[in-house]
Amino acid sequence: MVDTNLTVIDHPLIQHKLAILRDKNTNVRDFRALCTEISMLMAFEAMRNLPLEEVMVETPLALAKARRLAGKKLALVAILRAGLIMVDGILNLVPTARVGHIGLYRDPKTLKPVQYYSKLPADIAERDVFVLDPMLATGGSAAAAIRLLKEQGAKSIRLLCIIGAPEGKAVVHREHPEVEILLAAQDERLNEHGYIMPGLGDAGDRIYGTR
Ligand code: PRP
Ligand code: URA
């Protein structure tokens, strides 16, 4: 499904894995593995339109016209904690990508993001940036991370989340209308505690077994 600057990647493999991920009986080990696999599959789709350049390659038999990636290099920026789980899957596809980290947690009362850490590649302004976080709920964390990236000069930014709520999408698009959001699923709404419904619960707690 394609909305304005929102793509829901409804590949059957992703949807199958997402069904297991949502299940409350899925254990920590499987939950982590599924997050990694879904992230890799989403990134595969997200990179479908990367620019290519023609090159000549000498095979053992002849010269072959081939194509390889051109354009800007990639940076993955994980929103801690939960976004960290998405990094390894994508690095399987793009092993030379640089990785940045932005530490944010959601204040449970106000639901506003609180920043506690940031370390970004020095040349972030020159890179295509994928911001990674499994959950886009109120959108406060993603919007704050993108704001910080823009302050550091990043110009080409996309947001990759596994599940998003309409509320979060609206907030990110209001503040950052040019940023494309890629989801594996757009759920119905937020509950009174700011959790995505039906969602998958608290991603960080399910990844790290902290609850
Ligand atoms: C979760 C999630 C997002 C944020 C989404 O993180 O991983 O970062 O909430 O909510 P929002 O869209 O309303 O901002 P959390 O604050 O629970 O921190 P954690 O990853 O350290 O568990
Ligand atoms: N953060 C999560 O981990 N899950 C939600 O549903 C909302 C925010």
* Residues sharing a CB contact under 8 Å with residue 118, sequence separation 6 or more, in sequence order: 100, 101, 102, 103, 148
**Nearest ligand 2 atom to alpha carbon 82:** 3
Q: Tens of pLDDT along 80-134? A: 999 999 999 999 999 999 999 999 999 989 999 999 999 999 999 999 999 999 9
For residues 100 and 79, what is the distance between their CA atoms, to the nearest angstrom? 9
Task: Kindly state the tokens that stand for 201.
Answer: 């619960």
**Predicted confidence (pLDDT) per residue in 136-193, tens digit:** 999 999 999 999 999 999 999 999 999 999 999 999 999 999 999 999 999 999 999 9
Q: Give the C-alpha separation, 106 to 129, whole Å.
A: 23
Structure tokens at 151: 């302050």
pLDDT of res. 28: 97
- Residue 14: helix, strand or coil by DSSP? helix
- The alpha carbon of 162 and the centre of ligand 1 are apart by a number of angstroms equal to 12
Dig out the tokens for 86 from the structure.
């998405």
In which band, very low, low, confident or very high, does the pLDDT at 43 lie, cut at 50, 70 and 90?
very high
| Spatial distance between the Cα atoms of 173 and 162, rounded to a whole number of angstroms | 17
Alpha carbon 155 to its chain's center: 17
Residues with a catalytic annotation lie at: 106, 110, 202, 205
Comparing CA positions, the residue from 150, 90, 142 lying closest to residue 120 is 150
Residue 56 Ramachandran class (φ > 0 left, ψ -120 to 50 alpha, else beta)? beta
How far away, in angstroms, is 193 Cα from ligand 2 center? 9
Sequence-ordered list of residues with C-beta below 8 angstroms from that of 100, at least 6 positions apart, any chain:
75, 76, 77, 78, 118, 119, 120, 121, 124, 129
Q: Which ligand is nearest to the CA of 203?
A: 2
Domain 6-208, what fold? Rossmann fold (3.40.50)
pTM of the model: 0.95
